[in-house]
C-alpha cells in the first residue's frame, strides 16, 4: 500500500509504502492472541470448573430443609449443579460465537488484501503446550469476572478489525482511482510530453499529453476508476473522452474514431472507452493521452511507466 499526501499547492507530495501483508499480519496477530486466550480459557473451564458456591438459605427455611429426605437433598443438589452447568455453558457458547466472528473477519481481511491466510490455519484451534503444574481452582465469582473481561476483549478486537477492514476498503478505492498504466495494451510512444516541433506548422510548441500510436480500431482503455465527464468532438482533440477519477485526477483520451461510453457513466480501470482513430488534428491513428492533477497538466509518462 502506498499512502500519498499532496500539498495544497500540488507542488510537493510525500508518500509512504505499507504492504498489505504487514497490515494483515498485524490483524492476524491480534486475532491469534485473543483466540489463544479464549481457547485456553474454554479448556480450563471444561476441565476444572466447579459448581458455584451458593449462600446458605435464610434461617426461616432451615427447618423445612432439615425435614427433606436424603433423596430430596440429592435431587436439590443435582438441580443446582445443572443450573450452574447451564449458566457457564451459555457463557462459553457466547465466547465461541465471538471467536468464530473474529475468524471470519480475519478471512475477510485476507480476501481484501489478497493475502493467503492458509499459513495461519484460521480454521483450526491454535497449538498450545506447557509444563504440567498444579493450579488453584477459581471461585465462581472469579470465573464470572474472567468471562466478562474476555468478552470485553473480544468485542474490542472485533471493533479494531472492523476499522481495519474499512481502512483496507477505502485504501483500495483510493488506489484504484489513481491513474496507472497505458491506455492501450500495445503501441509505441510517438510523441512525448513537453516542448516539441509541431507536426503541422513546424513551430516549437508545448505538447500537454503523450501520443501513443497503434493500429486503427485498437481499444482505448481507462487507466483508473472514475466517472465519464465529457464525450464528443472538441476542436483539435477530435473524438474526446474525459474521465474524472476524484482526488484531483482527470484523464483525457483524444482522436478516437468510435466512442463506447456516454457522459455520466461509471467506469472501472481497464474498461474500453473508445476505438483508436485519427480524428481532429492528427497525422495518423493514435491516442493523445493527458493527465491533469488539480486542474494542472502533469507528465503522463510518470503514470504509465
Torsion angles phi and psi, residue 57, rounded to 5: -70, 155
Identify the sign of the CA torsion 59, 61, 66, 72: negative
3-state helix, strand, coil in the chain (%, to 5): 40, 25, 35
pLDDT value at residue 304 = 86
Judged by DSSP in three states, 294 sits in coil
pLDDT along the chain (305 residues), means of 10: 50 51 60 62 57 46 50 67 68 70 70 60 59 69 78 76 67 79 93 93 94 96 95 95 93 97 95 97 96 95 87
pLDDT value at residue 1 = 53
Question: Do residues 228 and 242 make contact, with C-beta atoms less than 8 angstroms apart?
Answer: yes
Q: Which residues lie across from 266 on neighbouring strands? A: 227
Nearest to 224 by CA among 203, 201, 249: 249
CA–CA separation, 190 and 199 (whole Å): 12
Q: Which residue has the cell 481499444?
A: 219
Tell me the C-alpha to C-alpha distance, in Å, between residue 47 and each of 17, 50, 192.
48, 9, 74
pLDDT value at residue 164 = 67
Amino acid at each position: 500500500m502506498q499512502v500519498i499526501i499532496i500539498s495544497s499547492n500540488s507542488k510537493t507530495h510525500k508518500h509512504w509504502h505499507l504492504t498489505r501483508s504487514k497490515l494483515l499480519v498485524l490483524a492476524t496477530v491480534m486475532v491469534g492472541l485473543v483466540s489463544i486466550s479464549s481457547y485456553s480459557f474454554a479448556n480450563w473451564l471444561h476441565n476444572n470448573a466447579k459448581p458455584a458456591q451458593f449462600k446458605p438459605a435464610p434461617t426461616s427455611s432451615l427447618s423445612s430443609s432439615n425435614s427433606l429426605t436424603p433423596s430430596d437433598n440429592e435431587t436439590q443438589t443435582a438441580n443446582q449443579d445443572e443450573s450452574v452447568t447451564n449458566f457457564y455453558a451459555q457463557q462459553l457458547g457466547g465466547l465461541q460465537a465471538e471467536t468464530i466472528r473474529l475468524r471470519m473477519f480475519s478471512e475477510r481481511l485476507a480476501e481484501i488484501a489478497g493475502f493467503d491466510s492458509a499459513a495461519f490455519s484460521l480454521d483450526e484451534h491454535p497449538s498450545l503446550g506447557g509444563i504440567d503444574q498444579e493450579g488453584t481452582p477459581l471461585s465462581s465469582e472469579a470465573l464470572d469476572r474472567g468471562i466478562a473481561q474476555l468478552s470485553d476483549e473480544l468485542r474490542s478486537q472485533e471493533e479494531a478489525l472492523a476499522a481495519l477492514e474499512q481502512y483496507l476498503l477505502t485504501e483500495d478505492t483510493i488506489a484504484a482511482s489513481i491513474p496507472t498504466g497505458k491506455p492501450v495494451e500495445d503501441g509505441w510512444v510517438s510523441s512525448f510530453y513537453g516542448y516539441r516541433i509541431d507536426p503541422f506548422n513546424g513551430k516549437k510548441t508545448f505538447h500537454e499529453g503523450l501520443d501513443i500510436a497503434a493500429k486503427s480500431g485498437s481499444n482505448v482503455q481507462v487507466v483508473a476508476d472514475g466517472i465519464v465527464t465529457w464525450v464528443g468532438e472538441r476542436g483539435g482533440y477530435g473524438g474526446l473522452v474525459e474521465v474524472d477519477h476524484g482526488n484531483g485526477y482527470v484523464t483525457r483520451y483524444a482522436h478516437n474514431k468510435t466512442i463506447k461510453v456516454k457522459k455520466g457513466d461509471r467506469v472501472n480501470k481497464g474498461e474500453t472507452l473508445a476505438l483508436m482513430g485519427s480524428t481532429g488534428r492528427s497525422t495518423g491513428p493514435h491516442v493523445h493521452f493527458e493527465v491533469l492533477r488539480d486542474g494542472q497538466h502533469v507528465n503522463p509518462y510518470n503514470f504509465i511507466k
